[in-house]
Amino acid sequence: MSVLETLSKNPVVRSAYDRVLSAGFVPRRAFAHYFMNTDGITSRAHLQNFYSTFFPMDLTEATAHVTLCGKDGSVIARKDFVVPPYGQLYIEVTDIVGHDLDMEGMIYIDFEPPAVIRKQLRTIPGLQQLTVQTPFWVSYRDQNDNYMYVHSIESYRGKVWGAVWPLTQMMAKVAPERSAWKSWRLLDVALLDELQVVVMNHSHKPGTTTVSVVSNDGETMWSEQVTLATRESRRLVVPEATIAEWKARENPGNVRIAVDPVLTGNGKPYVIMRYGGGPWSLHHG
């Protein structure tokens, strides 16, 4: 049961929280992505002012609070960007840091609505359970202008914006959901040239997980255990010699990625691969 569901069961707390919400203090969580500016890949974040779509009678700017972290989870830079009504934001490393930088790690964006919009959030049904989230896209571009696009599926769980204290602290300190995960996506070994897996820790607590490549019949073909601090990212590269051994089998078949456990409820990995001598491709989960 979530913190908000627990609070809603107490009538006194519920009444007080209703007043807080009606004043516009609705909790927000910032979606997070893997951001890469290394090994010939350039990332670009793409955010839209979705408040304009939901509240077109009050077309106002909104502020994107962008945080960029290194692969060890430490903060490299924070910068705010103003997004006009119905506008879009495209940002790369140089826009955030001010210069080119070889890096990879987590980027998360809190998208803050102006006061006139915050007060209208109370018109949304199920206000007691409402949490505003800020999904965005990230593109990954190689040196030959091949593009890969991924949409965010998990938020950074270690901080909550917009609500009142102590609710922000209570929501940010909730124990992360951690369970075993296995991809439904099959990778054809006969066509596979390169394979990398990126795992991230979206929670406020460190965690240890095992990343595996598993065959159709459940055999573990390759695995590596990693321990990640909060916001830390790790890009694991399956050795080319290992892939060659898979291909040399009589029936190479298919493989899939497994993570046990994912470090937050939907903290699935990014999978980077190359098929048949073609460009890199990237998918989420």
pLDDT given for residue 279 in this prediction: 92
Q: What is the pLDDT of residues 58-76, one digit of tens each?
A: 888 999 999 999 999 999 9
Token pair, residue 175, equals: 């124990």
118-122 average pLDDT score:
82
Please determine, for residue 126, whether its predicted confidence score (pLDDT) is greater than 80.
no
DSSP codes joined into one string, the chain: --HHHHHHTSHHHHHHHHHHHHTT---EE-EEEEEEEETTEEEEEEEE-THHHH-TTS---EEEEEEEE-TTS-EEEEEEEEE-TT-EEEE-HHHHHSS---EEEEEEEEEEPPHHHHGGGGGSSSGGG--EE---EEEEE-TT--EEEEE--EE-TT--BSS-TTHHHHHHTSPPP-EEEE-S--EEGGGEEEEEEEEE--SSS-EEEEEEEEETTS-EEEEEEEEE-TT-EEEEE--HHHHHHHHTSSS--EEEEEEEEESSTT-PPEEEEEETT--EEEEE-
Looking at per-residue pLDDT, the higher value among 262 and 132 belongs to 262
pLDDT given for residue 59 in this prediction: 86
User: Is the Cα torsion angle 53, 54, 57, 60 positive or negative in sign?
Assistant: negative
pLDDT given for residue 125 in this prediction: 78
pLDDT given for residue 24 in this prediction: 73
pLDDT given for residue 236 in this prediction: 98
Please determine, for residue 4, whether its predicted confidence score (pLDDT) is greater than 60.
no
How many CB atoms are closer than 10 A to CB 19? 9
37-57 average pLDDT score:
94
- Under a CB-based contact definition with an 8 Å cutoff, are residues 236 and 196 in contact? yes
pLDDT given for residue 164 in this prediction: 83
Q: What is the pLDDT of residues 190-234, one digit of tens each?
A: 999 999 999 999 999 999 999 999 998 899 999 999 999 999 999
Please list the residues that pair with 17 across neighbouring strands: none
Q: What is the pLDDT of residues 83-118, one digit of tens each?
A: 999 999 999 999 999 999 999 999 999 999 988 888
Whole-number average pLDDT of the chain: 91
Please determine, for residue 44, whether its predicted confidence score (pLDDT) is greater than 60.
yes
Q: Name the pLDDT band for 19 (thresholds 50, 70, 90).
A: confident
CA distance 5 to 3: 6
Looking at per-residue pLDDT, the higher value among 1 and 209 belongs to 209
